[in-house]
Chains A and B, each alone.
Chain A
Amino acid sequence: MNVYSARHYDADRRLYDAFEEATGVEVRVLPANAEQLLERLRVEAEATEADVVVAADAGNLWRIKEAGLLQNVTTSALEQGVPQRLHDPDGAYWGFTKRARVIIYRKDAIDPAALSSFDDLTNPDLRGKIVMRSSTNTYQLSTLASRIERLGAANARAWAAGVRANFARDPQGSDTDQIKAVAAGEAVATVCNHYYAIRLQNSADPADRAVAEKVGLIFPDQAGSGAHVNISGAGVTAHAKRRDRAIMLLEYLVSDAAQTMLAPLNDEYPIRPSIAPSPALAALGAFREEDIPLDALGRHQAEAASIFEEVGWR
């Protein structure tokens, strides 16, 4: 069977290898970025060889679904494996890992109590002290999309403008680059996906570990709506030629075996709380997640992009 994957982790390959071992079905993978995979699927239409699409970020999965390139699948194994909020209501895509959007701050620069919520990032006291990744990035878009869903577009615009006013520099670089800028004293705080911070802690490069020493991690909005959580997920293509095997792979991805195997490899959160996360994540403790329908991240994505542009967060 064939998989289009927008996830490039070596851990995923190990997962597919284990699946091959367990089922005897060969898994061929084409890793590329989500947007280009979507175009390839669109053009190939019913001639596609891809049976499964894997992507990070619910916004990307939603787009593929909207383009009519996924088919709805529901089985009891999937329904039992994936909490209701973490899959498409129609069954077009199913989450198999979770990632939290967290605040990273420099320990010697600010009291974490002053940064307990995303709202705190707009505090005028932080003028010139925030660095952020470009708004082209899908994680950034989804973060704003969740705010549009919860509080409306006007609130989201005011928040983006407030954070924008606090920028220490124009957005540049990756999530990891933002953390490094905070550690280096260029800024006091930033926002990133949780596993980038964990990776620095466990890096083979001592310079990376020194960065991790200097910064702290906050799950935001614990007293309010909960931290923004996104998924990596998979779906069966609309024109899958090997539908049965595709469903087998989806079920495997959320099975206990795959979840326990993946957890320590990638420092993402397992899709359901019954599976233990990696030791580094366990050390961070439990946190409260925001509760919004995942497809909202896709529905508000274009609007989020426009808001970012309006407030000059490029």
Chain B
Amino acid sequence: MGTFMLMLVGGGGAVACGAVAAWLVSLCQFPGRGMFEWLLALPLAAPSYILAYAYGAMTWAGASPVVVQGFWGAAFIYTAGLYPYVYLSARAAFASQSACALEAARTLGASPWRMFTRIALPLARPGIAAGGALACMEIAADYGAAQHFGVTTLSTAVFRAWYAHGAPGLALQISAVLLIAATAFLVIERRARGRAAYAGGSTRWRPLPRVDLRGASRFLAFAFCAALVMFGAALPLVWLARLALMHANVEDIAQPFLNSVLLAGVGAVVTLLLATAIAVAARSAGGAGKFVLHAAGVGYAAPGAVIAMGALGLFGLARDAGIVGGLGAGLALCALIWTYAARFASAGVQPIDAGLTRLSKGLDASARILGAGPWRRILHIDLPIAAPSLIAAALILFVEILKELPATLILRPFNFDTLAVKAYAYASDERLLEAAAPSLLIFLAGLAPIFILTRGIGRARAGAR
């Protein structure tokens, strides 16, 4: 029940904030718009558990403008931290919309609000839904923030069974419930979207007509975007920086930083390949491909620690069968990357699939008539057109893996720490001052990919070249 309510409030908040923000920067003109285009994506770099710690500390110190506690505290963290998922995919969707439909609406005298609710929003629905689904699954899988704020969810129940009752088997059973719920959720989402076709629309690409906001609405648009950036990124960043400075004798975190970047890079590439294969298969193949698409999506809703247990279990089977020996450094890293792929494939599949969905069906048919085989069609038409989505997916995966904690914690080799592991080690020992520096670095390491990512979406629009 806690999971459901958090999805409703936290996920709903993320969808509303993300969609409105994407609309504002894509289709309106107001002061600071260009800057907000990428600033709005920043909270993506902040893991929920670190936001929870930072806001918990700020609330206590009286430095937080909102009281972040209990259920509403958790919902606030999810809204502030997860809206970028919706923002990014909605923005990609807005950016690829036809200027004609919007201009026609404008000619017919529609107000900006009416254009948003009747034309732009329905057309962007696949993008918003994809982002919303990611945010909701992130909420379902999250343990750190829910536990910190004392909200009982399916995830906290998993860990209660495992940690308090010492019953990992029971924990797996509860996880299965979580996965079934996620599957149902995804199927409903696909069904709702499946009936309509969103492809094409127009072949005439021109810059989108932006609505020039005036008077109070200018100010409101600015304030809204500024508030999102402040709550999702700026406030916790400043607070962490303050704590990090206070604890000057920080242990060497250069090696963990390199380890993090290395793992995230390799993990992102492997996961991207898998995600692309899944997304392409789902389009060209029939039911089986669709099934794989759903199955891959479900991994995202499972707590990372549970998936890591699955990886350990697989390793155990392989060991019993005599295929492998001990869990040495090389094998441990392979298992870790496999876990990333299992857990995050969905985060990659969603944007790629959304990118492919926008391909005009006619394009595929034309290529077929001209005698192009399936491989040729995929390599020369589908993938180049979906390239911006692929880059976006790779960057999202990089940031996701950078933030990942539980699987990294248990599957990594000896003497191999990452930033997330360092942050956890200190935070679990309640040394928030020491935890601040690695947390801050996770944040900062995620900034560069996010900057590239948001720049890429703006350019991805064909007419913008």
Contacts and interface: CB of A to CB of B under 8 A. Distances in A.
Is B truly associated with A? yes
Given A136-B159, A177-B60, A8 B428 contact: yes
B23 to A, nearest CB: 36
Contacts of A203: 433
Given A28-B415, A47-B327, A184 B60 contact: yes
A136 B430 contact: no
Given A39-B410, A204-B246, A172 B148 contact: yes
Given A136-B156, A136-B160, A37 B410 contact: yes
**Max chain B Cβ within 10 angstroms of own Cβ: one of A10, A184, A196, A308:** A10
A40 B312 contact: yes
B273 to A, nearest CB: 27
A61 interface: no
A138 B163 contact: yes
Given A36-B409, A136-B156, A305-B164, A172 B312 contact: no
Given A10-B251, A138-B163, A184-B60, A39 B168 contact: yes
Contacts of B430: 174-176, 196, 199
**Max chain B Cβ within 10 angstroms of own Cβ: one of A48, A63, A204, A306:** A204
Contacts of A35: 162-163, 166, 168
A172 B150 contact: yes
Contacts of B150: 134, 170-173, 314
Given A28-B414, A36-B409, A172-B70, 4 more contacts: A29-B415, A177-B60, A302-B166, A302-B167
Interface of B: 56, 60-61, 69-70, 147-150, 152, 156, 159-160, 162-168, 243, 246-247, 251, 305, 308-309, 312-313, 315-316, 319, 325-328, 406, 409-410, 412-417, 421, 424-426, 428-434
14 contacts: A8-B424, A8-B429, A10-B434, A30-B414, A33-B409, A44-B316, A134-B150, A170-B70, A172-B148, A173-B148, A204-B433, A207-B61, A301-B164, A301-B166
Contacts of A37: 410
Nearest to B171: A35
A49 interface: yes
A185 B15 CA distance: 37
A33 B60 contact: no
Contacts of A39: 168, 309, 312, 410
A43 interface: yes
Contact of B164 (A43, A135, A177, A181): A135
A32 B312 CA distance: 15
B328 A49 contact: yes
Interface in A185-224: 196, 199, 203-205, 207
Contact of B414 (A43, A49, A175): A49
A9 interface: yes
Contacts of A175: 430
A2 interface: yes
A264 interface: no
B326 A49 contact: yes
A99 to B, nearest CB: 12
A85 interface: no
A33 B416 CA distance: 15
A134 B147 contact: yes
A44 to B, nearest CB: 6
Given A40-B312, A135-B164, A172-B69, A30 B412 contact: yes
**Max chain B Cβ within 10 angstroms of own Cβ: one of A30, A170, A203, A302:** A30
A24 B80 CA distance: 50
B425 A31 contact: yes
Interface of A: 2, 8-10, 28-33, 35-37, 39-40, 43-45, 47-49, 63, 134-136, 138, 141, 169-177, 180-181, 184, 196, 199, 203-205, 207, 301-302, 305-306, 308, 314
Contact of B325 (A47, A172, A180): A47
A40 B308 CA distance: 10
Contacts of B428: 8, 33
B163 A136 contact: yes
Contacts of A48: 326-327
Contacts of A173: 56, 148, 150
A177 B61 CA distance: 11
A56 to B, nearest CB: 9
B367 to A, nearest CB: 48
B70 A169 contact: yes
**Max chain B Cβ within 10 angstroms of own Cβ: one of A28, A33, A40, A43:** A43
B40 to A, nearest CB: 30
B310 to A, nearest CB: 11
A215 B93 CA distance: 55
Contacts of A174: 430
**Max chain B Cβ within 10 angstroms of own Cβ: one of A2, A63, A176:** A176
Contact of A47 (B162, B165, B319): B319
Contacts of B247: 204
Contacts of A177: 56, 60
A173 to B, nearest CB: 6
A36 B309 CA distance: 8
Nearest to B251: A10
Nearest to B69: A172
Given A40-B410, A49-B328, A175-B430, A305 B165 contact: yes
A203 B57 CA distance: 14
Nearest to B245: A204
A175 B429 CA distance: 10
A302 B165 contact: yes
**Max chain B Cβ within 10 angstroms of own Cβ: one of A44, A134, A172:** A172
Nearest to B415: A28
Contacts of B413: 30
A138 B315 CA distance: 28
Contact of B406 (A8, A30, A36, A205): A36
B327 A44 contact: yes
Contacts of B431: 199
B70 A136 contact: no
A8 B426 contact: yes
Contacts of A32: 409-410
